Each structure stands twice: as structure tokens, then as C-alpha cells.
Amino acid sequence: MGKTALVIDDNANNLLLEKDVLEVAGFEVFIAENATKGISLAREKRPGIIIMDMRLPDMRGSDAAKQLLLYPETRDIPVVFVTASVLAEGIEEIRTIPNAVFISKPINTRTFAKEVTQFMK
Amino acid sequence: MREPLIALDQDLRVISVSRSFYDFFKVKPEETVGQLIYDLGNKQWNIPKLRELLETILPQKTTFDNYEVEHDFATIGRRIMLLNARQIQRVSGQELIILLAIEDITERREIEIGLEKTRRELEKIKLAENEAREYAESIIDTIREPLIALNQDLRVVTASRSFYEVFKAKPEETVGQLIYDLGNKQWNIPKLRELLETILPLKTSFDNYEVEHDFATIGRRIMLLNARQIQRMSGKPRIILLVIEDITKRREIENGLGKAHEELEALAAELKRTARAKSEFLANMSHELRTPLNSINGFSEVLFDETFGPLNDKQKKYVNNVLISGKHLLMLINQILDMAKVEAGKMKLTLSHLPMKALLSEMVLLVADMAEKKKLEMRVEISDDLPDIDADELRVKEIIYNLLSNAVKFTPEGGHIGIRAVGTGEAIAIEVWDTGVGIALENMDKIFEGFFRVDTPYSRLTEGTGLGLPLSRKMVELHGGVLSVESKGLDQGTAIRFTLPVHSNRGA
């Protein structure tokens, strides 16, 4: 079975770029432009990893990650936050969530897929 | 006659004496009349001075007055007597008789002496009293606070010099006046009336009673009143001492201070709010700027890497330009953000053990390519005993890379650059130097202001933000070190020295 990833980002360009880079690296990629759609897609598709923006239109990325923890089918999926925020508060927020890491924006297209793969089990 | 009187004949024998003589000298007529005066009372009267009087003076003068004789009598003790004598001719014959009046002034003299003594004592007391008064008055006049003494009727007994000065009053229009009438009834203050007439009789003293009043002469004043009712000795009526302290200025200062304090607090709160707003703004700005940069850098990278198909040379060159500019912009954003974090005190250092010799060699290697391209000769002098330090690895690397790349950038082809590092015990000292464009003296301070880039032919050729040096200094300082710049002027090269403690504190 091939590698699968879910990318949740409300910025269409980011979504497209991350999807492209991951697909080039051999991932099957699902996309969602908000947290609600992302969570239901995650429960349906059970991707190997979820890549999520911290700021989403309907809720904060960290809150979405906490919701994913509520469902047995999504509880163990690792989450990579892609964040442009470099303030300490944002980093602290991520530390409270198990199974989550962050990659700071802008992403390095040459290493992004490799980094993401590292976080998968 | 009350005074003893004695009549003598020419031979100084007693002819007769007055009754008071017998009473006074406690003698009897039978042992007196016919006797020589000197033999009287068992020769008690044999007084040399009396002899002189009767035998020498009287024959010549026929009279003498108030001749004082002091003598110790066996019967009546020591006496002081005033003798008055008259030689008179008896009517019934030619013989002279001597009348001698003896006035005992012993008691009078005693009284006089006593009086004199008393007078002298009185004088002494008066002197002491004057001294005490002068003392008290000089104290009163020395005190800066106006002071007045009132009698029971609240009339001014005395006022201190400062009272006259402060309230612009004259002694002649003050002393003896009712306090309320002073200065054209300016002192008719209800609160003062209450104090003097109601409170003081009950309490005999009051402290720090505040009274605010608008005086015609000196304007609105806030005064602190202190009063004592003093019971004078010897049953004299009481006096009231009233000390008036003008606290108008003090109150103004206090109020001013309070206001200033409030304003300062408001300002501090405002500054805090501004600082938070600034840091929020920067966080938002960096987010908003990074999001499009993500696309710019990401897509140009993908294009440059020809992930989705080959580009021709021109396309590849142009997309590389986009990528370089995007990366420059990203660096700028990162540095601005770092600067803001340092200034907001939010920059935290992550300390770890740094093998300095290895780290410096790594940094030198990183710029070696750049230096070689410009045909720069690089001299590396790392002391063998350079100690390892505890510091933030990323930040230390940033500082050194920044200084080395500046040296490369600002040194013309064929020049020299170098790095020196030594241990100084508690710290390490690193110097990065070059023979490049240097810094004009007038620009020495500006180079730490940020966004300042010396306008030289080279600056146009070089990429940079102008934030590298100020940020490096902040990072050094955050570690507890010092960074300084030395240049002898334009085209004289530059040397930047900084220290880092072997054990840094945690910053922020």
C-alpha cells in the first residue's frame, strides 16, 4: 500500500504546492480547505500523515488536532503543522498535542517530502 | 523719744538718761547717773570710737551726726548704733552739757543688708529671666514656621519673625490684636475659630490641623496648624502657642507627584499595550508575509528544480532570480522578527555545549568559497587553548557567519580578511577583521541602527539587510558578552571584536 497524506490549508497556493511536492515524492494526497472537511476526510481516508496549517478558517489547527484525538480511527495519525508563526506561543501550543510536530513556513520544497516521511511511523 | 538719749556733763559723767535708754541697754538708774559714760554697765561703754568722738571730735565741732559705731555689748550683744551728739549750754548756768542720742540701727542695717541681698538676687533672677526670654525669642525667631503666642483672650502676645515675613504683617499691627482681626480680619477663619474656641480648651493641644484659606495678601494657602496651651508658672494666665506651617507648596508638589505618578502609570500601561500591539503586529505581519513567500519560493524552487519538466536557460535564470529575491525577503523578515523579539525581551537562548574550535572551523569553511571567488586571503588564528562554551548554537553560528560574510562582502578583490579567537579565562574573545572599505567615523553609530548600509560602490553589488550587525550585537549582549567595532576610517578596513562568556546566562 502506498503512502497517503491529507493536506489541510485554506490557502489554495500552499495546498497546491504541498500536494505537488508530496505527489512527486510518491504520496497519494487528499486535500481539504478547512478543519471540518479535513477531519471528516481523515476519518474516511485514514491517511498516513496529516499536514495542517495552524490558522484555519473555522478553527485553530491545534483544536482540529485535539478533535482528531477523539476518534479511534484518527487518534494515532501523526500531524505536521506548517506554520508561518514563529512566536513562542504557537510553538507551546503544538507541544501540548501528542504526535504533532511543526515545519516552519515557507517550506523547503527540496526537503519537505523527506521531512514529512520522517514523522510517519 | 524712742531712741535712747543720754545727757553728759563736761567730765563725761551721766547727768540723766531717757527711759528708753534703761529699757534698751538693760541698766538701772542707780548704776547709771553720776557714772563716767565709759564705765556704764561694767565698762561696756568703753568704746574707742566713742572716746574719740567725745574727746576729740566733739570739743572741736560741738555737734556730730550719724556717727556709726559697731560694738559688742555684754548684755545685748553686737549692735550697730548711729550716734548723734549736741553740745548745748544749760540755761541756768555756764556749763556745757552733751546730749548723745543713740540710735540702734542693727535691725535696720540687717534689713538693709537683707534688702540689698534680695535686690541682688532679684537682679540675678531678672538677668536669668532676660536670658531665658532672649533664648526663647531667638528660638522662636529662628524657627522657619511662623509662630504666634496668644493669651487667653486670643490676643497676640508675640509673633515670630517668620510670622511677619510669611504673612506680610508688621509687629505694630499684630501684637495686642485679636487673632481673628489680624491683617484686616483675614484670620477670621471658621475652622481656626473652631480650633481655638472648641477643640483647644478640651484638649490643650492639637497637631497637624489642616486649614485652607484665601488670604488677601498672600493668596490661597494650605496651612498645617499645631497648637499647645501652656500653663505658665506663678499662676499667670495661660498662653497658647500656635505654629502655622505653610504646606501649600508641599501639597502642590505632592499633588504634582501623584499626578505625575498616575500619568507615568498610564504611560507605562500604554507602552505595555503598544509593545504588545507591536509584537502582535509583527507576528501577524510575519505570518502574512510568509504565506505568499511560501508560494513564491516554493513554486520557483519546484520550477528551478524542473520537477515538472525542463526550462530553457533564460527561464531557469529568471526563476532563479525570483528564488534569490524571495530568499532575501525571507531573511529580512526573519531578522526583523528576531530584532523585535530581542527588543520585546522575548528572545530565549537555547544553551548547549559548543566545541568552539570545531564550530569556528566550520564557519570559516562556509565562507571560504565566497572568499576565494574574490581572491581574498583569509588568515585564521584560533588559539589552541580556546575553551568550549555554553551558548545558543544557532545564534553563535549566525553571529560568526554574519561577521565573516560581511568581511568578504566589504573587502575589494585581493584584500585580506581574518578571524582570531582566544580564551580570556571567563570568556572567549573573537575578532573578525578585514582590509576592506572600513567605516567612516560619522557612520560609526549608524551601523547599529538597523537598515543602515554604507553607500559604497560595493554595497550595490552586495545583498544585505543592514540588520546583520545590530542583530549580532544584540545576540552577543543577550549571551552576556560585548561587541565593538573598530575602523580607522573609510578604506582603512574594519575589525569587529566580541566576547562570549564561557557560561552564558539564559537570556531574555
Q: Is B305 on the interface with A (CB under 8 A)?
A: yes
Domain assignments of chain B as residue spans, ordered by start: 5-104, 143-246, 259-343, 351-501
Residue A84 to chain B, least CA–CA distance (Å)? 5
Most B CBs within 10 A among A109, A110, A112, A115, hence the mutation to make, goes to A109
pLDDT at B203: 78
Q: Which residue of B has its CA nearest to A53?
A: B291
- Residue corresponding to grid cell 485679636: B178
SS3 sequence of B169-198: CCHHHCCCCEHHHHHHHCCCCHHHHHHHHH
Q: Which amino acid is at B413?
A: E
With beta carbons under 8 A apart, name residues in chain A contacting B307: 20-21, 24, 109
* Cross-chain residue pair A87–B330, CB shorter than 8 Å: no
Query: How deeply is A102 buried, as exposed, middle or buried, from its count of CB atoms within 10 A (0-12, 13-18, 19+)?
Result: buried
CA B433 to chain centre: 53
Give the mean pLDDT of A70-75.
92
Partner-chain contact A14 B307, CB within 8 Å: no
Does A87 contact B290 at a Cβ distance shorter than 8 Å? Answer: no
Kindly write down the DSSP assignment for every residue of B290-320, as one continuous string.
HHHHHHHHHHHHHHHTTTTS---HHHHHHHH
How far does the CA of residue B251 sit from the closest CA of chain A (Å)?
Answer: 47
Reading the block at residue A100, the C-alpha cell is 504533532
Closest CA to B294 of A4, A18, A62: A18
Set of chain A residues whose Cβ sits within 8 Å of the Cβ of B334: 86
Count of structural domains, chain A: 1
Q: Residue A46 is which amino acid?
A: R
The verdict on domain B143-246 having CATH code 3.30.450.20 is yes
Strands B239-246 and B205-215: unpaired
Could you give the CA distance from residue A104 to residue A85 in angstroms, rounded to a whole number? 8
Q: Which CATH superfamily does the domain covering B351-501 fall into?
A: Histidine kinase-like ATPase, C-terminal domain (3.30.565.10)
Task: With a threshold of 0.85, tell me whether the complex ipTM lies above it.
Answer: no
Closest-CA distance of chain B to residue A82, Å: 10
pLDDT at B11: 83
Do A77 and B273 contact (CB within 8 A), yes or no? no
The nearest CA of chain A is from the CA of B415 a distance in Å of 36
Cα of A110 to nearest chain B Cα, Å:
8
Name which of B287, B289, B295 is nearest A13 (Cβ-Cβ). B295
Distance CA B340, CA B158 (A): 70
Closest CA to B148 of B99, B104, B121, B187: B187
Selection from A91, A84, A50 nearest residue A67 by Cα: A50
Containing H/E element for B121? helix B106-142
Tell me which residues of chain B have a pLDDT lower than 70. Answer: 1-2, 90-94, 232-237, 283, 450-465, 505-508
CA–CA separation, B418 and B434 (whole Å):
6
Question: What residues make up the domain containing A23?
Answer: 4-119
3-state secondary structure B33-51: CCCEHHHHHHHCCCCHHHH
Closest-approach residue (CA) in chain A for B302: A109
CATH of the domain at A28: 3.40.50.2300
A14, B348: Cβ pair inside 8 Å?
A: no
Other beta carbons within 10 angstroms of residue A13's beta carbon come to 15
DSSP state of B141: H
What's residue A27's pLDDT? 95
Is residue B85 a contact partner of residue B99, using CB atoms and an 8 Å limit? yes
Nearest to A87 by CA among B181, B438, B276: B276
The pLDDT score that the predictor gives to residue B461 is 46
* A20-58 pLDDT per residue, tens: 999 999 999 999 999 999 999 999 999 999 999 888 899
Which of B:263-292 have CB within 8 Å of A?
279, 283, 286-292
DSSP assignments along B234-273, one per residue: TTPPPEEEEEEEE-HHHHHHHHHHHHHHHHHHHHHHHHHH
Q: For residues B460 and B418, what is the distance between their CA atoms, to the nearest angstrom?
A: 23
Closest partner CB to B290 (pick from A24, A84, A87):
A84
Instruction: Look at residues B49, B66, B53 and name the one whose alpha carbon lies nearest to residue B12.
Output: B53
**Partner residue facing B297 (CB), from A11, A85, A106:** A106
Say whether B214 sits in a helix, a strand or coil: strand
CB atoms within 10 A of CB B73: 15
Residue of A nearest to B305 (CA): A110
Q: How many other CB atoms sit within 10 Å of the CB of residue B481?
A: 21
Q: What is the pLDDT of residue B146?
A: 85
**Residues B31, B37, B41, B46, Cα dihedral to 10°:** -160
Q: Is B335 on the interface with A (CB under 8 A)?
A: no
Q: Which residues of A touch B330 (CB under 8 A)?
A: 106
Indicate if the pLDDT at residue A7 is higher than 60.
yes
Q: Which CATH number, 3.30.450.20, 3.90.1170.50, 1.10.3720.10, 3.30.230.10, labels domain B5-104?
A: 3.30.450.20
Q: State how far the Cα of A52 lies from the Cα of A100, in Å rounded to an integer.
A: 10
CATH of B259-343, one of 2.60.40, 3.40.1440, 1.10.287, 3.40.1350: 1.10.287
- Nearest by CB: B298 against A24, A86, A109: A109
A105 near A76, Cβ under 8 Å?
no
Do the domains B5-104 and B259-343 sit in the same CATH topology, yes or no? no
Summarize pLDDT for B478-506 with one digit per residue, the tens: 999 999 998 888 788 899 999 999 987 65
Determine contact: B160 vs chain A, CB below 8 A: no
Asked if A14 lies within 8 A of B295 by C-beta distance, the reply is yes
